[in-house]
Structures are given as C-alpha cells and as structure tokens.
Amino acid sequence: MKKARANSTLSDVAKAAGVSASTASRALNGLAQKYRISEATEQLVKQSAERLGFRPSQVARSLRLQRTGLLGIVVPDLSNPFFSAIAREVTVAAGEEGFSAIIADSDGSVEKERELIEQMEARNVESLVVCPIGLDFAHLEAAASRGLPLVTVDRCQANSSLVQVTSDHLTGAHQAIELLIENGHQRIGILQGLHGTLPSERRLKGVREALAVAGIDYDQKLVAGDSFTQESGYCSARQLLTESPDLTALFAMSTPNAFGAFRAASELGRKIPENLSLICFDDVAFVEFMQVPLTTIAQNVPELGRRAALLATEQMQSGKSPRTKMHKVPIKLIQRASVGKVPPL
C-alpha cells in the first residue's frame, strides 16, 4: 500500500490509481460525469489521493478553471449583533457549498461600500452578499449588470431587479405597536432608524397602520432618531422622554436603539417596565439574560443568512439569476419582561 508522503503530485495519484494524469485531474475536480469517467474510477482516484495525502493547489486550480471559490460579504457595521450574525450565517452556509468567504465592514458609508465592492471584484470574488447602507443602490445594480451574482440582505430596494432577502418589517412593527396598545399604551414614542432605508420606512408604516386600526392619531412629534445605533437610541429616547414625559412606552427600531433607550430611561428616573415599557426590532442572544429581559420582534437571522448564501451560490453554480427577486422572511414576536401594563395614574 502506498504511504502518504509530503509533496505528492498529481502524477503520483494517477500512477497509484492506474490512470492518466488528465483522468485523475478530472476525477478530482468533479468532472467525472462530464468526461464519462466511471464512478468506480472516480472513487479509486479519490482514494489514492487521500492515501497519498495529495492536496491540489487551489491557486493553480483557480487559474486553470478561472474560479476562485470566493464569496464576498459586505455589511455596514460588524459591531451590530444583527449584521455580525448575518455574516456568520452566510459564511457557514457558503462553506457547506464549498465556497470561502471574505468579510468587509463599510462603516455606514456609501462611498466605502462602493470601494469595497470594487476591491472584491478586483479579487475575483464569484459572488457578493451585501447588507447595503440602503441609501444608494446604483453601484450594486452596476455590479450585477456586469454579470456578478449579487444578493442584498435587509436594507433592500423596492421594485429593484436585484436579488433581495429581507424580513417582513411592516408586520413586525404592526405587532409591536399592537402589543403595546393591548397593554393600555396610547402615548408611544418611536426610535427610528436610518431615514430613507427600507427597514425604517416599512417599520414606520407598520406603526402608522397599527395606530390607525386602534383609532389613535399618529403624532410626528413622538418620532425621533436618525440611525440604528445605540447613540441615536439614547439621544432620541432622552429627547422624547424629556419633551413628552407622559409617554408610557417606546418602540425601538433596532437592538442598539433599545440599549440606548435603557440608558436614557435610567438617567431620567424611568424604570422599565414599572413606568415605561420598551419593545424593539431584532433579537440577539443575550437580551433574554438582561436585568430586564427585552421584548423583541425577532428576525430569523439564520434563515436570512442561509437564504442569501444559497441564492448567491446557486447563481455562481448555474450562471443564472433566479426568477423571484424579492424573498421575504417572516418575523416572530417574543414577549419578555420589558413590556407591562400602563401604570395607574
């Protein structure tokens, strides 16, 4: 029996299997069926390669096949648990399909997002999964028009030709406000995300619809904030609670927004949930272990990431864009301790 040795070559494998070097190469590169190589021969070549410890050069294979096996991932903020979780799910799912991932953080900048995508293309990534800033999609559409398989996640664009995966933001926000109203809340402050992005706009629409169903007037003065960050949540919560001390509840459009709201409420002497209820969009692993476990509208992050990765890798493998462009993933209301009944006067 041949023993594994360092620096085994393709010729060594071919000799051990009793086939030509070209047959060995085709069997190891998944081309057996195309070249009518029998299953028995394919298995013999693979077993010989394993026994000899042969590992084909990925660089040489990439040059030969003009394939890199790389999938690029661009997110706006890796410190945000939602985006880091998306990146992980895409990486794992892509790995299961035989692809490696490169992850980059655009730091909330459209210009940097554009530069990163250009850099990814220069490195010959075979596909891109992008969680966009959500304000400009021209550079994404341009990359897709050049034939680069591209999938956007979360902050998508209405009526776009891009392949997109997002949550049911409107229904989630509607459920959040509905829960607060069921607990007697009518004066509700809204901590919104980045203006003009699909999640922020759809969630705000869900708020308005839920209030309308309950016969409660929508008050623009009770809406504040300009991004999905903790700092925005803190500043907007402090502003609303100071200007409208009769507020009994807050709806934060992201987990970081909610963390900022917790800090603002504490500084202003408002206790959650005793005299201020709080619910937010997104759900991260540790919120259930907080001193006051947070009620959330949970996005199905594993499904968002896996769906995006599969859509990207399927395009890489087939060379075709899927017919269905918009893929919407359901949300789930998780009730914990941060939402309570309106306190008695």
What does the pLDDT profile of the chain (345 residues) look like in tens digits?
444 455 678 888 899 999 988 888 888 877 888 788 999 999 999 999 889 888 765 445 544 445 678 999 999 999 999 999 999 999 999 988 888 999 999 999 999 999 999 999 988 899 999 999 999 999 999 999 999 999 999 999 988 899 999 999 999 999 999 999 999 999 999 999 999 999 999 999 999 999 999 999 999 999 999 999 999 999 999 999 999 999 999 999 999 999 999 999 999 999 999 999 999 999 988 899 999 999 999 999 999 999 999 999 898 888 888 999 999 999 999 999 999 999 876
Q: How far apart are CA 129 and CA 234, in angstroms?
A: 31
Helix axes 301-318, 81-96, angle to 10 degrees: 40
CATH class of the domain defined by 169-299: alpha beta
Q: Are residues 155 and 135 in contact, defined by beta-carbon separation less than 8 angstroms? A: no
Q: How far apart are CA 112 and CA 118, in angstroms?
A: 10
Per CATH, the homologous superfamily of domain 68-167+301-330 is Response regulator (3.40.50.2300)
Q: In the sheet where 100-105 sits, what is the strand order?
A: 100-105, 70-75, 127-130, 150-153, 163-167, 326-329
Q: Please determine, looking at this structure, whether the domain spanning 10-56 carries the CATH number 3.40.50.
A: no
pLDDT in tens, 67-124: 678 999 999 999 999 999 999 999 999 988 888 999 999 999 999 999 999 999 988 8
Dig out the tokens for 300 from the structure. Answer: 């199905």
Q: How far apart are CA 261 and CA 28, in angstroms?
A: 56
pLDDT > 90: percent of the chain? 75
Q: How far apart are CA 265 and CA 101, in angstroms?
A: 40
For residue 56, whether the previous peptide bond is cis, meaning omega lies within 30 degrees of 0, is no
Domain range annotation of the chain: 10-56, 68-167+301-330, 169-299
* One fold for 10-56 and 169-299: no
Residue 66: Cβ-neighbour burial (10 angstroms; 0-12, 13-18, 19+): exposed
Q: Which residues contact 252 (CB under 8 A, 6 or more apart)?
A: 191, 233, 237, 258, 260, 261, 278, 279, 280, 281
To the nearest 5 percent, what fractions of the chain are helix, strand and coil? 45, 15, 40
Residue type at 55?
R
pLDDT in tens, 25-67: 888 877 888 788 999 999 999 999 889 888 765 445 544 445 6
